[in-house]
Amino acid sequence: MELGFNDVIILILCGIIAGFINTVAGGGSLLTLPILIFMGLPSNVANGTNRIAIFMQNIFSISGYKSKGVSDFKYSSWLSISALFGAILGAKIAVDISEDVFNKILALVIILVVGTIIFNKKSFINDSKKLSIKKKIISGVLFFFIGIYGGFIHAGVGFIILTVLSNYNGIKLSKANSIKVFVVFIYTIFALMIFIMENKINWILGINLGIGNSIGGWIASRWSYNKSDKIIKIFIVISSTIMVIKLWYF
């Protein structure tokens, strides 16, 4: 597939916006997936192609957070192991449900999980070592199921991850975002491999989109690393509102 100059600019600009949204909150894929489909890709190929952008984005997001000293490699790795097994399963699953019904269910889920983030009054921690063994084990199980959804379609998975890390684990949103991008990076590697093996990738579109996502992810990680939960919640509310409207009405 040959791309014109305007197509490349559109992909990169949309990628920058999506990469920023994905890193700080979630839902950026609801911008990039329609763009890929509009450019002529079947929905399953668009889904696979979008994983290239997510993969590239999270390399830069992880690097951005790490450059600011915000990371939790040990706990992120534990959650990533659970999520990647779920993602492998999710990438292989064919769900027998209409797209319209699925989108409306997802919209309701997003409203619920975002609501729990916004109204959560839990005291926050910055160190996962303070978590009990029980919470770590339950979180691992939850991330297996998160991985299934992430491997299947990915869009909106950031909200669900932040809900578990913020509400159940009580981790500050700035720190939770650094864990989120690491987990998504790891399981995306394995989900992407499945899409590649099934030949559901358009590399030209994916790489150009990924350039934009990478820029957005880098900017967002370095901007949000020390922001208060209040500021990050504002971005979560904005991105989730746009996502719900898109899922329910379009």
Q: What is the mean pLDDT of residues 204-214?
A: 96
At 247 the pLDDT is 74
Examine the pLDDT at 147 and tell me if it is beyond 50: yes
| Single pTM value for the model | 0.85
Residue 208's pLDDT band, with cuts at 50, 70 and 90, is very high
At 95 the pLDDT is 44
Q: Which residues pair with 165 in a beta bridge?
A: none
- State whether the Cα torsion 60-62-63-65 is positive or negative: positive
What range does the domain containing 85 cover? 5-249
pLDDT digits (tens, 9 = 90+) for 14-28: 999 999 999 998 888
CA angle 76, 80, 83 (to 5 degrees): 140
Output the CA–CA distances (angstroms, integers) from residue 201 to 183, 184, 192, 193, in the order listed.
22, 19, 9, 10
At 42 the pLDDT is 85
- If one counts the domains in the chain, the total is 1
pLDDT digits (tens, 9 = 90+) for 111-132: 887 787 777 766 677 667 788 8
Residue 59's pLDDT band, with cuts at 50, 70 and 90, is very high
